Structure 1
Amino acid sequence: MSETDRVPVDVAVGVLIERDASGREGRFLLTSRPVGKVYAGYWEFPGGKLEQGETVEEALRRELHEELGITIGAVHDWKIELMDYPHARVRLHFCKVFEWSGEFQMREQQAMAWQQLPVQVVPVLPGTIPVLEWFAAERAFAGATHAG
């Protein structure tokens, strides 16, 4: 089976972002992949696979509660990226989340880190890199529009 023949696995990914007092996007949350999983120790945005019949939003709500112990507010569909890893082909559904409740609990013994660009944690999962590039482009555009 060639790379293009592999059926992608749909994954809901939560990009949790803090907003400053003026409403501008600030720090974002990265979590480490737990021991025992592929790419253990790599940093990524939290989330997980869609279960049969689930929407992206339903999966994201379930996954973030299971992994982090939080309940999220509105889910804002953002971008979709197809990634080919040696172990799987995944379709990553990135969603921005600005509101959540509950205390963060690392239920899979993963680590968490609030980050800004450039990120200070390494290594970063390959599927996370496009998001960091999108952030850089958005923030450069926002800075240019506010500068004039």
Structure 2
Amino acid sequence: MPQIQPLLVVAAALVDADGRILLQQRPPGTSMAGLWEFPGGKVEVGEAPEAALIRELNEELGIATHASCLAPAAFASEPLGERHLLLLLYVCRKWQGVPEALHATALKWVRPSQMYALDMPPADLPLIGLLDALL
């Protein structure tokens, strides 16, 4: 049996004071372009998941947060071509700065129940019900 290389990805459910979660739209020219997703990205070799998420939130949204503000919430496991995606989702309620779409086409704040109507990557879909129950 061929060995599958896992792809470790981290993402944040940024929750505002009204209980809404920030989603970003994948830009044209990327895989799954146009889909709405939780902000985050790949964990680099030698990088801790929390450090990767702090870096990605700064690169993608221009915001800063701390590892103590990241609460592990859930994970998703999804085949992705020759690799296998393992997505670690954290809930974050505290950050500095105002999120901006630095690498995304658009941003939107939505309630978890509104996510069911959005086009989202397959790995994100199982997380919606969990967030709906948590928040």
Normalising by the smaller structure, the TM-score range is 0.7 to 0.9
**How many residues get paired?**
132
Name the SS for the 2:55 alignment partner. helix
Name the SS for the 2:20 alignment partner. strand
Question: Which deviates further from its counterpart, 29-38 or 121-130?
Answer: 121-130
TM-score (norm 1): 0.80
CA distance in 2, matches of 1:105, 1:118: 21
Which residue of the partner structure matches residue 103 of structure 1?
98
Matched, 1:45 2:38: yes
CA distance in 1, matches of 2:89, 2:40: 9
Q: 1:49 to 1:130 in 2, by over 3 A?
A: same
Name the SS for the 2:52 alignment partner. helix
Q: Which residue identity lines up with residue 52 of structure 2 in the other structure?
A: A
Shift of 1:72: 1.7
1:109-140 C-alpha deviation (Å, 9 max, x unpaired) = 4211100112376311111111111123335x
Unaligned runs of 5+ in 2: none
Give the % identical residues.
33
Pick from 106, 126, 130: which aligns with 2:126? 130
Pick from 78, 83, 104: which aligns with 2:78? 83
CA distance in 2, matches of 1:109, 1:121: 19
CA RMSD of aligned residues (A): 1.9
Question: Which deviates further from its counterpart, 51-60 or 123-132?
Answer: 123-132
Which of these two proteins has the greater Rg computed from alpha carbons? 1
TM-score (norm 2): 0.87
Unaligned runs of 5+ in 1: 21-25, 140-148
